Amino acid sequence: MQQLLQQAQKMQQDLARAQEELAATEVDGQAGGGLVRATVNGSGELRGLVIDPKAVDPEDTETLADLIVAAVQAANENAQQLQQEKLGPLAQGLGGMPGLPF
């Protein structure tokens, strides 16, 4: 039983370390052939947004808004993929243990 608890404790530490790495890792997403680029951290928090001046048309702000939304969504999808890569194996290992939030 003690060995099982130690194993669970180690897995929790590994999970916490992986979550810290995710928070420090940035991933990008883009839309409009790179006219709009969004950067999020591995947790999905928006960290940056770059808009090429060519994408700015005062007469058509709807397209720019759509490009921004698409770039942020692409960046978030990349962040989710990164989360799966980093946390997937750890979360699966912890999943069968009662009292843990997975």
Tens digits of residue pLDDT in 24-79? 899 999 999 999 999 999 888 999 999 999 999 999 999 999 999 999 999 999 99
Domain of 37, in residue numbers: 28-87
CB-based contact 100:14 (threshold 8 Å): no
Q: Is residue 98 part of a domain?
A: no
Could you give the number of structural domains in the chain? 1
pTM of the model: 0.72
Q: Is residue 50 part of a domain?
A: yes
Which pLDDT does position 23 carry in this prediction?
86
Q: Is residue 8 part of a domain?
A: no
Q: Is residue 18 part of a domain?
A: no
Q: Is residue 96 part of a domain?
A: no
More confident residue, 47 or 23: 47
Q: Is residue 102 part of a domain?
A: no
Query: What CATH number does the domain containing 35 carry?
Result: 3.30.1310.10
